[in-house]
Amino acid sequence: MGQQVSVNPFVLDIDGDEPCLVGGRCVDCGNVTFPRYAGCPKCAGSNIEPIELGREGTLWAWTVQGFPPKSPPYLGANDAKDFHPFGVGYVELPEVIVEARLTESEPGKLKEGMAMKLTMESLFKDEEGNDVVTYAFAPAE
């Protein structure tokens, strides 16, 4: 029996009650990045700790991916016949603004400033039958 697995636990932790994004926080200056880097792009410090990011935020900017991404690197279905456009945007979380897929792909239903909540989307089934998931944001209402 397959189960849900994260595309990469380095950025998406799905082991808790709710999924959460993992970024990096500079211990010296407090700057938060997503993902976690070895050094801080703000103060050039190198003392970085992992930080769980908030799950709710607002839409900062968006588009809709209208053509199949090249594979590699894309892990999802990208045959022209199986491909469905998906939203991509930046969501302002309490700590940092992150780029993510959006579950909504209708331009008329996407608006800057709207409330968004973290969720997961299936990317593909791996060789063991696991459902490999990535992070996405959905309208909160």
Partner 1 sequence: MQSDVAIVGIGMHPFGRHEGVTGMEQGAHAVREACKDAGISWQDLQFAVGGSAAAGNPDTMVSMLGLTGLQFVNVNNGCATGGTALSTAYNTIKAGMADLGIAIGFDKHPRGAFASDRPVHPVDGGRDWYGGSGMAINPQFFAIKINRYMGKHGISHQTLARVAAKATRNGSMNPMAWRKQPFSEDEILQSQMLAYPLTQYMFCSPGEGGVALVLSRSDQAHKYTNTPIYLNAAVMRSRRFGSFEVKASWLPKDDEVGPTADASRAAFELAGIGPEDVDVAQLQDTESGAEIMHMAENGFCEDGEQEFMLERGETEINGRLPINTDGGCIANGEPIGASGLRQVYENVLQLRGGAGPRQVPNDPKVAYTHVYGAPGISGVTILSK
Binding site for partner 1 (CB under 8 A): 7-12, 23, 31-38, 41-42, 60-67, 69-70, 72-76, 86, 88-90, 92, 96-101, 107, 112, 123, 132, 134-135
The rounded distance, in Å, linking the Cα atoms of 141 and 129 is 33
Q: Which is nearer to partner 1, 62 or 116 (CB)?
A: 62
CB of 101 to partner 1, least distance (A): 6
CB of 92 to partner 1, least distance (A): 7
CB of 60 to partner 1, least distance (A): 8
Residue 79's nearest CA partner among 90, 68, 88, 87 is: 68
CB of 18 to partner 1, least distance (A): 18
Q: Which is nearer to partner 1, 35 or 54 (CB)?
A: 35
Q: Which is nearer to partner 1, 7 or 115 (CB)?
A: 7
| Contacting residues for 106 by C-beta, under 8 A, at least 6 apart | none
Backbone phi and psi for residue 81, each to the nearest 5 degrees, phi listed first? -80, -30
Q: Which is nearer to partner 1, 7 or 138 (CB)?
A: 7
Q: Which residues is 53 bridged to in the sheet? A: none
Burial track 13-22 (b if 16+ CB lie within 10 A, e otherwise): beeeeebbbb
